[in-house]
Structure 1
Amino acid sequence: MESQSMAHPGSPGWRGPTAQCMAGTKPKVPAPGPELSSVGPEEHSDAHSSLSSNSSMTTRELQEYWRTRKCRWRHVKLLFEIASARIEERRVSKFVMYQIVVIQTGSFDSNKAILERRYSDFEALQKKLLKTFPEEIEDVVFPKKHLMGNFTEEMISERKLALKEYLSLLYAIRCVRRSREFIDFLTRPELKEAFGCLRAGQYTKALDILVHVVPLQEKLTAHCPVMLVPTLCAMLVCHRDLERPAEAFAVGERALQCLQARESHRYYAPLLDAMARLAYTLGKDFVSLQERLEESQLRKPAPRGFTLKELTVQEYLC
């Protein structure tokens, strides 16, 4: 548990035999790691300058760094299909639910995303985008609403094609496909449900949802991997509380790769702390993780913050 005594092995206050031997020596402060906010081959020269000042990176970290950058240089292209539609009747409403299938083109995609949205969800997206990108989407045609005939087979088929075209046109506009509005439309309902399950202690159900939504969120946020961190940390918390430390540690490593050297990020210190505890439990190298946390706190002292679980349960509250 993250609330263990400060003197317990693996806790922030416990240095361990290796750290105790180093007591009295001035800790080496590594140069800041490369930032991941920039994208594209045009920043290749900036990347070289970042690496030249980051000699503390290991060979594995350098390989992972370049692999990440190369993946981001290649634009991930997604194909949208409206696979089916069904009429749903509730006590006071009746509407059509459209099934959206999102597939990555250019290669075999075993992680295609399947989600459902109703016409009012598309309509809400259009209103938000018109506020943020009025000029960029002025030529994008949004399927009009009809007062009559919305539930006929002919109208549903026509709207399926129109909504598919609408999503494809939006995705073709760079600023739109990278916008919070577009990404939220495709991922937020599922993420909100998953984080609600986490808050309720339904960790297995939360994981089932996250496992399906993470591949799509990863593709949509390739330009800014740090956006994936809260979701990965939620998976870590679920695995850890289900007593699956190995799975929790593996997903935590992915989250750390997304964060890189962003020490100011609100998840950085809590994630390192959780990873050090997991490493100790698994018999892995927890000392280096503990040292990274201590060095970060030496550079920028801060009062006690939230634990990783306390942070994750606050996501998607509204």
Structure 2
Amino acid sequence: MATAQQPWSPGWAGLTTPSEAGAGQEAPAAGPGLPAPGPEGDPAAVAAGSPGAHSGMTTRELQEYWRGEKGDRKPVRLIFDIASARIEEGTPCRFVMYQVVVIQTGSYDSTKAVLERRYSDFEALQRGLLRAFPEEMEDVAFPGKRLLGNLAPALIAARSRALAEYLRQLAALRGVRRSRELLDFLTRPELREAFGCLRAGQYARALGALGRAGPLQARLTAHRPAAAAPALCAALLCLRELERPLEAFAAGERALARLRDGHRYLEPLLDAMVRLAGALGRDCAPLQRRLEDCQLRRPGPRGLTLKELAVREYLD
């Protein structure tokens, strides 16, 4: 029986339709089974008392361990660029749309996400970050607004360079890099589009939007993996409706790996996975046992289905 590649892992193309192939929607994933270093991979931080499997090592042993780790893997980081800019006809006036390229580097891949944002989107990001990180943002330069000449080619080119540098400065700040504000700026428009298409039954379009935002969201939420589970569940639903059950099951497995007991998505996801496993002729007994355990811990009427839960996301 053919097997499906894991969604949002290197080489997986399940979130692209034939017309979208080659649109630059690569799919990064963190390597399984690797021990997590301390803050920013600092062995001294680990030695200072971080609990875990290596807490019994001496400082020298820890330093040697992390030197070996760093020899095998590079730290994941984000590189930003403004690839192009174009003038759009809007209401009530014209505006500039900037194409932002996010390159995600690491040991396992060096992939990119491409998204488009207006200057007003950058302004909203700056306001949110100033509220959340006033001290960290003191030295971050943000290109100001001009009353006249905003559509002049020279100004657009200069602002493109300044916005790219602004994003690079944000990526250098650990707290900002992991913040809800930056995550929403980079992924929320595409995720809202994806879940809107899911509600409308436009499953292929939803997959296209998920393919643009999902891999980047998963990478940015590695420190809180459950945050990417709704998007993976949406991918499962779309792939199931498009009669691609192997890929749907792979998306579900990826989502299950991110969820802990008690999460609102766990029980409906397990129910959907039991049904998919049965349709694929796979052993569904482990999934069924886990589902029954969840149901025993939550007495009362049956909860929402996976689709009923997913269509409620991003309604604001």
Q: TM-score, normalised by structure 2?
A: 0.76
Q: 1:160 to 1:111 in 2, by over 3 A?
A: same
Correspondence for 1:245: 245
- Asked if the contact 2:102–2:113 (Cα under 8 Å) also holds between the matched residues in 1, the reply is yes
1:139-162 residue CA offsets vs partner (Å, 9 max, x unmatched): 111111011111111111111111
Counterpart residue number, 1:10:
none
Give the equivalent residue in structure 1 for 2:291: 293
Segments of 5+ residues of structure 1 without an aligned counterpart are 1-35, 50-69
Task: Quote the residue 1:117 is aligned against.
Answer: 117
Question: Is the Cα–Cα contact under 8 Å of residues 82 and 98 in structure 1 kept in the other structure?
Answer: yes
- What percentage of residue pairs aligned between the two structures are identical? 62
1:1-318 equivalences in 2 (<5 Å): 42=46, 46-48=51-53, 75-106=75-106, 109=109, 111-259=111-259, 262-318=260-316
Given that residues 83 and 99 in structure 2 are in contact (C-alpha distance below 8 angstroms), is that contact kept between their aligned partners in structure 1?
A: yes
Which segment drifts farther, 277-286 or 207-216? 207-216
Counterparts of 1:149 and 1:118, CA distance in 2: 16
CA distance in 2, matches of 1:205, 1:223: 29
- Distance in structure 1 (CA, Å) of the matches to 2:87 and 2:151: 7
The superposition leaves residues 221-255 of structure 1 with CA deviations (integer Å, 9 ceiling, x where unpaired) of 12211111000000001111122211110110000
CA distance in 2: counterparts of 1:45 and 1:96, whole angstroms: 47
- The number of equivalent residue pairs is 261
Task: Write the deviation string for residues 261-313 of structure 1: whole angstroms up to 9, x where unpaired.
Answer: x1111001111111011101111111110101112333443542111001100
Give distance in 2, aligned partners of 1:165 and 1:93: 27
Task: Tell me the TM-score normalized by structure 1.
Answer: 0.76
The residue identity in structure 2 corresponding to 1:185 is F
Q: Could you tell me how far apart the structure 1 residues matched to 2:74 and 2:301 are?
A: 41
1:103 touches 1:109 (CA, 8 Å); kept in 2? Answer: no
Contact 1:207-1:238 at 8 Å conserved across structures = yes
Q: Distance in 2 between matches of 1:38 and 1:221?
A: 16
Give the SS at the match of 2:253: helix
- The amino acid across from 1:287 in the alignment is A
- Is the 2:76–2:107 Cα contact (8 Å) retained in structure 1? no
For residues 36 and 192 of structure 2, what CA distance do their matches in structure 1 show?
26
Distance 1:74 1:46 in 2: 23
Q: Residues 47 and 282 from structure 1, CA distance in 2 versus in 1: closer, same or farther, beyond 3 angstroms? A: farther
| Residues 233 and 251, structure 1, Cα contact 8 Å, conserved in 2 | yes
CA contact (8 A) 2:75 2:106 kept: no
